[in-house]
Structure 1
Amino acid sequence: MIHGGPATRVVPAGFVRAYTQVRRPSLVPEVRLHVADDVVGLWEAMETAAGGAGEEPPFWAAAWPGGQALARCLLDGPATVVDRTVLDLGSGSGLVAIAAVLAGARRVLASDVDPFSRTAVGVNAGLNGVRGISVTGDVLDREPPAVDLVVAGDVCYDREMTGRVLPFLDRARARGCEVLIGDPGRPYLPHERLGAAAVYEVPETEGPGVRRTTVWRMP
C-alpha cells in the first residue's frame, strides 16, 4: 500500500526483525515475510522504540490480498516479468518485488513513501536471499521511471489515493510500460477500463474468510 510518512527517515533493520514474526503468505508460500501478528502492539512499538510511527498504521507488516494476487500471478506466469525491469508501486512488505525477482526480473525498484516499508523491503529481500531490489520513496508526482512493467498491489484503497495513483499509472502506460494492478474489490478502482488477467481467492489478512482478488491489466 501507499500511505503517508517522512520521505528521508531511516528505520533500523533491527526494529523490523525485533517486532515482527516470520510467516509465509497463504497464497505465496514460496516467500517468507516479517509480518505483525499484533498490529496494535507493533504500532505502539513504532511510537516508542522507533521514535514515532507517523499517522498511518503499519501497512508494511501484512501481506495484503492485492499484493498476494500479484505475486502469485508473476510466479505462475514468469514470462510477464523475466529479464524485465519492474517498478513495484506501494511496495509495503516487498512481497511483489521479491516475487518479481524470483520470477526472473532483471531489476526491481520498490517504491513506498513509508520509511518502515523501505526498511522492511530490504529485510524481507535478505530473508529470501533475493538481490536486485532497490528502494525509493514516493514517485507519484514524478514522471514514471524507465521500466518495462509497473505492478501495484491494493493501491486504490481510498478516493484521495486513487486520484494520485491512476494518473501516474496512465502516464506509465502511455510511455509503453505494461501495468498490472492487484485489487480485492475496492470501489475506487475503475474496473470497467481494465482487463482481468487472473482471479484468486485470497485468505483474509485479518480474520476468517477469503477475498476474491483480481489482477487487472491496464489496456
Structure 2
Amino acid sequence: MSTDFVRANTRLAPVPFLPELVLHQADEPIELWERTEEAGGEQPPPFWAFAWAGGQALARHLLDDPGLVSGRAVLDLATGSGLVAVAAARAGARPVTANDIDPLSLAAAEANAEANRVRVRTVEGDLLSTGYAEADVILAGDVFYSREMTGRVLPFLRKAAGRGALVLVGDPGRAYLPTDGMIRRATYDVPVIEALESVPVRRTSVWQVLTSA
C-alpha cells in the first residue's frame, strides 16, 4: 500500500486548528480501519488519517514561533499523518525527517508534504530501539497514550535533550503524560473529532522535555 491508498481513502481538507495547512483526512475511523485491514492484512490503527490534538497544538506552536525550528534539522517522532513534520518544514526547518513504524503513516506524510508544497524525508523503523542523533529538534505529538509507550519514549526524549536537542511534545492530558521534568510552553483549545476523543475540543499543551525529572 502507498500514497494511492491514502488518497483514495481520505479527503484533502484544511486542518481545524491550522487552516493554513491541508491534510488527507478520513471522516470515519472505524470504516477506514476495516478497509486498511482488508487491503493489507493485519495493520496498525490508521492514526495517519486524523489530525490528533497533540499534533495540532505542536504544529500551531511551530507556525506561531518559527524561530524554534527555522534552519535546524528536525525529527518528527511517531509522525502519524506527518502534520507536525509539515508544519516544521513550513516554519523553515531543514531537513525535516518524519519517522514511524507504519509504512502507511509514511505514505501519508509524503502525500501531506506534497499537498502543502514542502519537503519531508521519511525514515521507517523503531528509533526508540536504534537511537537517532541527527536532529537539532525532536518533536512528538500524542505519544504518551500507554504506559509501555511512555516507558520507551521518555528515555529517548530525555537522552536527546541531554545532548542539547530542543525536545517538544504536544499532549492533551493523556493518562500517561509524565509532566515531571517538563516545562509547559503553551496551551490551546484544539478542535478534535468527537468520534475519536468523545469531546469536540481538547485543551492541549506543548511541553519542553528536560534531561531529567
* TM-score, length-scaled by structure 1: 0.90
Q: How far apart are 1:39 and its partner, in Å?
A: 1.5
Q: How far apart are 1:205 and its partner, in Å?
A: 2.5
> Residues 184-218 of structure 1: CA distance to partner in whole angstroms, max 9, x if unpaired?
00121211321011110001223453111000011
Q: How far apart are 1:132 and its partner, in Å?
A: 4.0
Which moves more between the two structures, 23-32 or 149-158? 23-32
In the aligned structure 2, how far is the partner of 1:16 from the partner of 1:132? 17
Determine whether 1:36 maps to 2:23.
no
In the aligned structure 2, how far is the partner of 1:196 from the partner of 1:109? 24
In the aligned structure 2, how far is the partner of 1:46 from the partner of 1:132? 24
Determine whether 1:51 maps to 2:40.
yes
List, as ranges, runs of 4+ consecutive aligned residues in structure 1 with deviation greater than 6 Å: none
SS at match of 1:162: helix
Aligned to 1:203: 191
Trace 1:4-43 onto structure 2 (pairs within 5 A): 11-43=1-33
In the aligned structure 1, how far is the partner of 2:192 from the partner of 2:119? 29
In the aligned structure 1, how far is the partner of 2:163 from the partner of 2:5? 39
More helix by share: 2
> Residues 25-57 of structure 1: CA distance to partner in whole angstroms, max 9, x if unpaired?
111111111111011221121122x22242x32
State the one-letter code of the partner of 2:159. Answer: R
Please, which runs of 5 or more residues in structure 2 have no aligned partner? Answer: none
In the aligned structure 2, how far is the partner of 1:15 from the partner of 1:89? 22
SS at match of 1:24: strand
CA contact (8 A) 1:93 1:124 kept: yes
> Residues 66-101 of structure 1: CA distance to partner in whole angstroms, max 9, x if unpaired?
000000000000010000000001100000000000
Q: How far apart are 1:135 and its partner, in Å?
A: 3.2
Q: How far apart are 1:148 and its partner, in Å?
A: 0.3
In the aligned structure 1, how far is the partner of 2:3 from the partner of 2:178? 37
Aligned to 1:6: none
Q: How far apart are 1:62 and its partner, in Å?
A: 0.4
In the aligned structure 1, how far is the partner of 2:62 from the partner of 2:112? 18
Identity %: 54
Determine whether 1:218 maps to 2:170.
no
RMSD: 1.3
More strand by share: 2
In the aligned structure 2, how far is the partner of 1:52 from the partner of 1:164? 27
